[in-house]
Structure 1
Amino acid sequence: MRSRVPGTGRPVMSQGRNGRSEWFELSEEGWRRSNRARPLGQLVREALQNAFDQRARRVKVRLAEDEVRIEDDAPAGLARDEFAFTVFLGEKDTPPTWRGRKGRGLKEMIAASDRAEVETVGRTLVFDSTGRHVKPNSRQVGTCLRLFRRTSASEREAALQLLRLTIPPPHVELVINGRTVRPPRAKDSLEDCPLETVELHRGVERYAERATRVDLYFPRPGETPHLFELGLPVEPHHLPWHVDVQQRIPLAAERDAARDAYKRTLAAILLESMAPGLSRQELSGAWVTEVLAHFTLGQEALEAYVAKVLPARAVLSVGSRVDDRARQLGAKVVDLRGMPLSALEQLETLVESADAYVERMEGPPRDVLVQPGARAERFTGLVRCLSRELTGREVGVEFFERKVRDPSARVDAEYDRERRILRVNMRGQVRLDDPLEPGTLGIILHELAHEVGEEHDFAFIRQLEDFAGRALRCLVDQPGLLAPYASPKRRAG
């Protein structure tokens, strides 16, 4: 207990190591509650972190209903007793390749327990209902941490799932509940990735950018891809692989998540470096779109994305009518207008728009209006007759010639919805001399059906089917209705 100022009952403030009076006291109950709430797997992960940092060659973890046991063979064991009970006391100067930080991990595990024993070289620290005790032992190497607390089956299962994700350092054996953890299958390794990291200098955290290696692994069956820090799982992420950064990652206070900006930068580095070798499936994930939204990719990576993700002869959508024409000319229209603007702008540097494609294939449209005269009278009459019967109103007819560079770009007819005019290309397949010829009649019905819209969607199909059915009914109910529009040869027959 603290001594008290005579006659006041107030505690005497002790002198801190920095020469100042100590300003704060730790609520042990609050500390216990805070750590008791942490998931079991995250607590045990702290012990793995310590064992790997201390160059253990073998680490064994046992999760039981009322005890958690972590044992390692690190050469030195626990360096100082205070590391087990003085909060925030830890190594003051550690490089970015050291996993531990802030001297909290071991204390958090003990605080989350009902009682605990830290058996290290030559001594055992006991934490129980009577306080903290130290007793001698005969251990010559490593540390055995025993945490006594009851856990549910679901808690243990969740902890096992997290801990078995661990990628042990080379030549280190990790055994969890009697099962050796094998590293997943390696995919790739990237050197000299410039990423932010955390250095500890005289106990103060400093953030700095440093080149490091990043290892990628294929997730084992049933695993969710995770971000790792020096072999220890940090959090799930939406990249297709396990990504293991070989230095400290700037983490949130509970060390269970990385900063969003850091994760975006990491994803951008991976995409920039690996895009040419990635599959279509790997490049189709949302993570790629997010990178494109926040970073400008190099030409090689962007070309690889376009070549593998977008279909051959892809063009960017601009509007229904132009898109439809581009499809008729053989293009694959992709609608990326839902993508972030910066991502779309990058793709536009490599992928042609639908209107540019149509203009390139057809050349600038050059329509010349023509007057076919008497030879078009029967055709015009048929169009007006059908439009009255099928739409309830009469449409006009206009004739033109369009010269195009590519014969496949030629149109037979167009329907101008605003002016309600059927425009006929005299270089197309319409037969003015025989307007009831099946192909010509089909073109007329097709264009009149565009009264419902420009696209060839379900509404258009239903309208075309309706017009075809009603036209057939007209021939049955009114046999003479269309007779005046047949060719003279057919009438004579």
Structure 2
Amino acid sequence: MQWFDVDKAGLRQLLGRRGKAAVVLELLQNAWDQNVTAVTVTLEKAKGSRSVEIRVQDDDPEGFRDLAHAFTLFAPSEKKGQPEKRGRFNLGEKLVLALCDRAEIRTTKGTLTFDRTGRRQSRARTHRGTIFTALMAMTAAELEETIATLRTAINPAGVVTRINGEALVRPTPIARLEARLPTEISDAEGYLRPTVRKTWIEVFAPPEGEKATLFELGVPVVATGDKWHVNIGQKVPLSLERDNVKPSYLRRLRTALVNELAEHMGGEDWVSGWAREALEDEGITDQAAAAVIKGRFGEKALAYDASDPEANKRAVAQGYQVVHGAQLSKAEWAAARRAGLLKPAGQVTPSPKVFSEDPQAKPLKTIDRSDWSECETRRIEQIESMSRRLIGEEVHVRLASDPHWPFSACYGHAVMTLNRGRLGKKWFEGPLNEGMLALVLHELAHHYEGDHLSSKYHDAICALGARLALAVREAPELLGDEVSQKTVAVASVV
């Protein structure tokens, strides 16, 4: 005695979740799996009934190989060992039969009839091919949906397929590529085992109004909502209900597509979930990663550098897009680094570094105070006095002489350095002028903030200017006996 029976009514209820269109697709895919050159599918409302007459006919010379498979669930299928075939579990006809009120399979081996009285077999047969006819309850909306779904199928090359008399026109792919993808194949004992093998992939632009879908050898499997219709040339690892795939499979497929088709992407594609998922995958190429990142952030993009705040502002001022940490996932940042992209702002638009961080660098040449000229001594003492008045503490001024050092002056830790090699000896002669005062105020503002482009630095230099005006009102001698009104441009200021 058999271990269990299958309740047709219960199976019928379960299949109702998939919809009539998905079940009828099983008939089409079974026909395509045969040695056929022509397949005809007809669906018409039955006269005087709420049912639809379904007819699927193919021209396979051998026809149905084993009629018993038409009514045996999970019978061994020769397609299990062929990854280029769609079938796995010998389910196709049984799923349709579960939803039918009456059905007949006529093939080269004979005829099977299914009706309310049960199942019976006769010797009537076809000369070639198989004819499946059935009566299935279907609303007008379900009929319309089923026909529309059948017409989205991608016709195999070399096969003429007609749906209600209208031939399926095979679309022209925008690309065809190869990739190693997971699939299923039976082992020596007939068990389906997961494996990975190279297969072809066809990519199509979805017709207007159609949602991008994943296809298995021309049969629509699941809508992805990505950019393209993607047709896989081998079995796709599916759930038993054949309506979904694992996220890991989609990720691997999306990575393969982005690697090969980045030139076909643009606009919102770069920020789409599927493109970001591909960017996170370790299999993405450096070239594809560069395309996604540049498409998303532009040609001029770099990473925010917390160690050099001013560099980030300089980058923005120079037209760069500064990418912050939260804008990319950890895996996306890893892909960017592997591709040599999004360098820190401090490496691309660094703030001025007065002194080299190289311990072997040549030290700045300074002049001993005893070797200063009278003019230099007077000017530096004047600046020290002014600085003491403006910031309220002692400021030590030292004199350097290096024309190759690219700065006129710098400030740090209450020490101001003036570079005679850039300023020239005349800078220390004559009365103070606007350019000299501008240089001093610029450097003293660094007592409060190092970042030239920050609001804190801006506020500091404004406050110093105001203090200087008030100080001169109280003590005019602060600027010397005579103050020139001539404006002198400063070549380089830090």
After TM superposition, the score normalised by the length of structure 1 is 0.69
The whole-number CA distance in structure 2 between the counterparts of 1:267 and 1:81 is 41
Residue 52 of structure 1 corresponds to 32
Residue 354 of structure 1 corresponds to 345
Deviation at residue 31 of structure 1 after TM alignment:
2.0
The answer to whether the Cα contact below 8 Å between 2:214 and 2:231 also exists between their aligned partners in 1 is yes
RMSD value, Cα: 5.1
The answer to whether the Cα contact below 8 Å between 2:175 and 2:204 also exists between their aligned partners in 1 is yes
Deviation at residue 314 of structure 1 after TM alignment:
1.8
Q: Which amino acid aligns with 2:180?
A: P
Change (3 A) 1:397 1:48: farther
Deviations 1:22-43 (A, max 9, x none): 3333233322222233222211
Change (3 A) 1:336 1:86: same
Residue 285 of structure 1 corresponds to 272
Deviation at residue 404 of structure 1 after TM alignment:
13
Deviation at residue 99 of structure 1 after TM alignment:
1.0
* Pair 1:327-2:312 in alignment: no
Residue 151 of structure 2 corresponds to 164
The whole-number CA distance in structure 2 between the counterparts of 1:231 and 1:290 is 25
The whole-number CA distance in structure 2 between the counterparts of 1:164 and 1:99 is 18
Q: Which amino acid aligns with 1:344?
A: W
Q: Which amino acid aligns with 1:73?
A: D
Deviation at residue 284 of structure 1 after TM alignment:
4.7
The answer to whether the Cα contact below 8 Å between 1:78 and 1:143 also exists between their aligned partners in 2 is no
Deviation at residue 83 of structure 1 after TM alignment:
2.4
The answer to whether the Cα contact below 8 Å between 1:225 and 1:241 also exists between their aligned partners in 2 is yes
Residue 89 of structure 2 corresponds to 102
Deviations 1:124-168 (A, max 9, x none): 533333222345657544313323213251x34443443332111
Deviation at residue 252 of structure 1 after TM alignment:
1.0
Change (3 A) 1:357 1:120: same
Which of 112, 124, 149 aligns to 1:125? It is 112
Deviation at residue 216 of structure 1 after TM alignment:
1.4
Which of 4, 14, 21 aligns to 1:34? It is 14
The whole-number CA distance in structure 2 between the counterparts of 1:336 and 1:309 is 15
The answer to whether the Cα contact below 8 Å between 2:51 and 2:137 also exists between their aligned partners in 1 is yes
Residue 332 of structure 2 corresponds to 343
Uncovered stretches (5+) of structure 2, i.e. residues with no partner: 358-363, 365-378, 424-431, 486-494
The answer to whether the Cα contact below 8 Å between 2:303 and 2:344 also exists between their aligned partners in 1 is yes
Out of 163-172 and 262-271, give the one that drifted further.
262-271
Deviation at residue 184 of structure 1 after TM alignment:
2.9
The answer to whether the Cα contact below 8 Å between 1:216 and 1:243 also exists between their aligned partners in 2 is yes
The whole-number CA distance in structure 1 between the counterparts of 2:351 and 2:106 is 78
The whole-number CA distance in structure 1 between the counterparts of 2:25 and 2:213 is 15
Residue 3 of structure 2 corresponds to 23
Residue 62 of structure 1 corresponds to 43
Larger Rg: 2
Q: Which amino acid aligns with 2:28?
A: L
Deviation at residue 255 of structure 1 after TM alignment:
1.0
Deviation at residue 346 of structure 1 after TM alignment:
2.5
Change (3 A) 1:333 1:82: same
The whole-number CA distance in structure 1 between the counterparts of 2:22 and 2:409 is 69
Deviation at residue 235 of structure 1 after TM alignment:
0.9
The answer to whether the Cα contact below 8 Å between 1:363 and 1:405 also exists between their aligned partners in 2 is no
The whole-number CA distance in structure 2 between the counterparts of 1:405 and 1:305 is 43
After TM superposition, the score normalised by the length of structure 2 is 0.69
Q: Pairwise mapping of residues 129-148 of structure 1 onto structure 2 (< 5 A)? A: 129-134=116-121, 139-140=126-127, 141-148=129-136
The answer to whether the Cα contact below 8 Å between 1:98 and 1:248 also exists between their aligned partners in 2 is yes
Q: SS of the residue aligned with 1:359?
A: coil
Deviation at residue 396 of structure 1 after TM alignment:
12
The answer to whether the Cα contact below 8 Å between 1:284 and 1:309 also exists between their aligned partners in 2 is yes
The answer to whether the Cα contact below 8 Å between 1:116 and 1:148 also exists between their aligned partners in 2 is yes
Which of 239, 252, 256 aligns to 1:269? It is 256
The whole-number CA distance in structure 2 between the counterparts of 1:287 and 1:243 is 13
The whole-number CA distance in structure 2 between the counterparts of 1:156 and 1:399 is 91
The whole-number CA distance in structure 1 between the counterparts of 2:148 and 2:396 is 72
Deviations 1:45-71 (A, max 9, x none): 111111101125132242646215242
Change (3 A) 1:292 1:356: same
The whole-number CA distance in structure 1 between the counterparts of 2:126 and 2:12 is 29
Change (3 A) 1:338 1:327: closer
Q: Which amino acid aligns with 2:275?
A: V
Change (3 A) 1:89 1:338: same
Q: SS of the residue aligned with 2:171?
A: coil
Q: Which amino acid aligns with 1:86?
A: T
Change (3 A) 1:411 1:248: farther
Which of 82, 100, 103 aligns to 2:68? It is 82
Q: SS of the residue aligned with 2:236?
A: coil
Uncovered stretches (5+) of structure 1, i.e. residues with no partner: 1-13, 15-21, 385-393, 469-473, 475-479
Q: Which amino acid aligns with 1:87?
A: L
Q: Pairwise mapping of residues 317-466 of structure 1 onto structure 2 (< 5 A)? A: 317-319=304-306, 321-349=310-338, 350-351=340-341, 352-359=343-350, 374=382, 433=433
Deviations 1:448-490 (A, max 9, x none): xx9xx9998xxx79xx99xx9xxxxx9xxxxx99988999989
Q: SS of the residue aligned with 1:45?
A: helix
Aligned length: 438
The whole-number CA distance in structure 2 between the counterparts of 1:360 and 1:285 is 35
Q: SS of the residue aligned with 1:107?
A: helix
Residue 211 of structure 1 corresponds to 198
Out of 161-170 and 223-232, give the one that drifted further.
161-170
Deviations 1:337-382 (A, max 9, x none): 332212202312412111222338767679x9xx96656999998x
Deviation at residue 296 of structure 1 after TM alignment:
4.5
Change (3 A) 1:373 1:233: farther
Deviations 1:392-414 (A, max 9, x none): xx99999999999999xx99999
